[in-house]
Amino acid sequence: MQDSKNTERFKNNFSLIRFFIKGSLLDFLISMLFAFLVSLFDMLNPRIIMFTVDSVIGGSETDLPSPVRFLLGGRDPIPYLRAHFFAIALLVAAVALFAALFRYGFRIFNAKAAEHLVKRMRDTLYEHIQHLPASWHTANSTGDIIQRCTSDVETIKVFLSERLTALIRMLVLIAMAVAFMAGISPRLTFYASLFIPVVVSYSLIFHLKIGSAFQTADEEEGKLSAVAQENLTGVRVVRAFGRELYERERFEKQNSFYTRCWVRLIRILAVYWSAGDLITGAQLLLVTVLGAAFCVNGRISAGEYIAFVSYNAMLTWPVRALGRVIAEMSKAGISIDRLRYIMNSWREAVPEKALTPPMNRDIVFSHVSFRYPQGSSAGTDTLSDITFTVPAGSTVGIIGSTGSGKSTLISLLARLYPLSPENGSITIGGCDISDIETGYLRSNIGIVLQEPYLFSRTLEENIRIAAPGAGREELQRAVGIADLAETVERFPSGFDTFVGERGVTLSGGQKQRAAIAQMLIRRTPIMIFDDSLSAVDSETDARIRSALAAGTGDSTVILIAHRITTVMRADRIYVMDDGRIAESGTHEELLAFGGIYKRIYDLQISQGGTQ
């Protein structure tokens, strides 16, 4: 049962940002407060300069603001300032010092908020991806997932910490600059403000173009990451088949296409910024010329002209930056969409009952049918009306050709893929596995996969990964049953041998035996071996099977194999063919039946085939 509500958890980008920003919102608000104070103090120095030029130097009367008159006790400060000119310099320095302190506070709190935001995003995405079903991971490449969780996260961080917080400062600067400019010359302010809607308008036009180009580039970066990740992981296969040139050309082709996407985006941005420079230059030229004319005609004083030009320079940056924020919203919007896809993907279903029944009970497959949701097998049943029972404590063998559905049975038992009620049921001790708590179910089922995966750690760390608290005696026992003890002794570093990524330093048989030990150390009530002895020789296979028979205790054992020798001693053997159970019985019964099992036996044993 899937949680359909989760697909609509975040209906828009704003809801996802609001979710991610929890925990860092206060720091963002404090940084915005400091940004406001920086803008306020930046506005004071042009007023001080205007007052100095017109009143202190020029001798014109100036109507000081009421708060300033109150602080001065109603006295006229001009005579004092004319005699002590350094006081004005100290005032300008004090204003600049306070602006610098507030700017420092803005940087500190903004950086703190940004890093907390990124940490929350990464933690949340990682935790969520860990709980997505196997079908989702099959449909999405690892490289693309990594790219979303790194590059897209960084894009969102930059937008929120550098663009969105700066937006508050921009709006404050624009509002204050226009207000101060209007106080000097409303008419000149009108001419200066004519360029604001022009900048915003062309930014909105480029917003759509930039968004489309960035989405293409972002998607191609994900494909490039996938190509690199696959080739670096499978470098031994590439070299074994002499495909270095082919893979290099494949990477270079994708890299070239990705580069062309970014060049296209850069061209759009170049036109955008060049147009911005042209419009900004025209605005500065107009204000300078008209301001000079107004000053010559006596409409404004020299001090007012200097202050107006200073405020106009302050206005130019936030107006251009406002346009940049609008353009950057395209990139951030695409990145948020890509993360929203992950966060809105269905997590594995959580059983409503979440039972934890005893797991050392009979396992019953009842009329189970299944087809994979994606891939080449979609549309055809991988399993068709499968019904059989695995008695508790017994050993059952499952054999069949490749693609007959053997491994799918195990995937369904571990609930890696959901089984809808209309497609049958799987029960353990009469309890449907869909009602069993997921973590509990999987912690009680030990699986040795057909292709074991070892991490870039020591051999001991890999074996203990499922049972970190296991003692040395349990470790030695598991290694002994897996016939790995002698191999470990031959390693110069023993259990401390570093196995490399995916266990690259070990042979196929050594990796399989390490995976068997990894599973045995857990002592689970259900043990599954999914063709896990295919890479070992017949003699080692026989030793491991003999040790398993004595070392699995009361556990229920399911052996999936292609070799007759692996399953022939099982209490019951099921022969799979085209998604159905074609035959079942003991080794002797199946030989007497003379069907598929007998033909496999003759091929492998009687005619000297693979042992």
Least confident of 66-75, 109-118, 203-212: 66-75
Tokens 């449909």 sit at which residue?
139
Strand partners, 432: 427
Task: Classify domain 13-343 at the CATH superfamily level.
Answer: ABC transporter type 1, transmembrane domain (1.20.1560.10)
State the number of CA atoms in the 13 A half-sphere of 450 facing the CB: 11
Report in angstroms the alpha-carbon separations of 40 from 51, 164, 560: 17, 19, 74
Residue 68 pLDDT exceeds 60: no
The Cα–Cα gap between 177 and 183 comes to: 10
Share of the chain above pLDDT 90, in %: 12
**Cβ pair 191, 290 in contact under 8 A:** yes
Residue 375's pLDDT is what? 47
Report in angstroms the alpha-carbon separations of 600 from 472, 560, 583, 606: 41, 15, 13, 10
Least confident of 17-21, 74-78, 315-319: 74-78
What are the residue ranges spanned by the domains of the chain?
A: 13-343, 349-444+524-611, 451-523
Per-range mean pLDDT, top range of 107-121, 489-503, 536-550: 107-121
Q: In the chain, what is the straight-line distance between the N-terminal and C-terminal CA atoms, in Å?
A: 43
Q: Residue 240 phi/psi, 5° resolution?
A: -60, -35
| In 37-84, beta strands by DSSP E | none
In this chain, the answer to whether the domains covering 349-444+524-611 and 451-523 adopt an identical fold is: yes
Per DSSP, the three-state class of 498 is strand
User: Which amino acid makes up residue 392?
Assistant: A
Residue 163 pLDDT exceeds 60: yes
Q: Is 559 exposed, middle or buried (0-12, 13-18, 19+ CB in 10 A)?
A: buried
**Cβ pair 280, 316 in contact under 8 A:** yes
User: Which amino acid makes up residue 167?
Assistant: L
Q: Into which CATH architecture does domain 451-523 fall?
A: 3-Layer(aba) Sandwich (3.40)
Residue 569 pLDDT exceeds 70: yes
The Cα–Cα gap between 590 and 610 comes to: 19
What does R_g of the chain's alpha carbons equal in angstroms?
36
Q: Which structure tokens are listed for 254? A: 């994708």
The fold for domain 349-444+524-611 equals Rossmann fold (3.40.50)
Residue 470 pLDDT level (bands cut at 50, 70, 90): confident
- Biggest CA–CA distance in the chain, Å, is 121
Residue 365 pLDDT level (bands cut at 50, 70, 90): very high
Per DSSP, the three-state class of 573 is strand
The Cα–Cα gap between 361 and 355 comes to: 15
Least confident of 109-113, 148-152, 238-242, 508-512: 238-242
Residue 537 makes CB contacts below 8 A (sequence gap 6+) with 509
**Cβ pair 14, 332 in contact under 8 A:** no
Residue 4 pLDDT exceeds 60: no
**Cβ pair 330, 208 in contact under 8 A:** yes
The Cα–Cα gap between 565 and 495 comes to: 30
Report in angstroms the alpha-carbon separations of 102 from 33, 43, 97: 9, 14, 9
Residue 394 makes CB contacts below 8 A (sequence gap 6+) with 556, 557, 571, 572
Residue 28 pLDDT exceeds 80: yes
Per-range mean pLDDT, top range of 214-218, 324-328, 425-429, 512-516: 425-429
Residue 387 is inside which H or E element, if any? strand 383-390
Give me the sheet containing 572-577, strands edge to edge.
Answer: 445-448, 526-530, 556-561, 395-400, 572-577, 580-585
Among 70, 87, 308, 292, which residue's Cα sits nearest to residue 189?
A: 308
DSSP notation for 428-473:
ETTEEGGGB-HHHHHHTEEEE-SS----SSBHHHHHGGG-TT--HH
Among 593, 594, 535, 528, which residue's Cα sits nearest to residue 567?
A: 528
**Cβ pair 155, 373 in contact under 8 A:** no
Per DSSP, the three-state class of 113 is helix
* Mean pLDDT in residue range 190-211: 74
282-298 tens-digit pLDDT: 878 888 888 888 888 87
According to the 3-state scheme, what is the secondary structure of 274-310?
HHHHHHHHHHHHHHHHHHHHHHHCCCCCHHHHHHHHH
The Cα–Cα gap between 220 and 218 comes to: 5
The Cα–Cα gap between 503 and 229 comes to: 16
Strand partners, 436: 355
**DSSP state at residue 6:** G
The Cα–Cα gap between 343 and 8 comes to: 10
Residue 335 makes CB contacts below 8 A (sequence gap 6+) with 151, 152, 153, 155, 156, 159, 218
Q: Which structure tokens are listed for 67? A: 């708060």
**DSSP state at residue 355:** B
What is the value of pTM for the model shown? 0.70
404-459 tens-digit pLDDT: 888 889 889 988 888 888 999 999 998 999 899 988 998 899 888 877 778 878 88
Residue 609 pLDDT level (bands cut at 50, 70, 90): very low
Report in angstroms the alpha-carbon separations of 521 from 264, 289, 407, 454, 548: 56, 84, 22, 15, 12
**DSSP state at residue 73:** T
Residue 134 pLDDT exceeds 70: yes
**DSSP state at residue 351:** P
**DSSP state at residue 502:** G
Pairing status of strand 526-530 against strand 445-448? parallel
Strand partners, 558: 396, 528
Q: Which structure tokens are listed for 65? A: 């603001």
**DSSP state at residue 353:** S
- Cβ neighbours around 81 below 10 Å, total: 18
Residue 319's pLDDT is what? 67
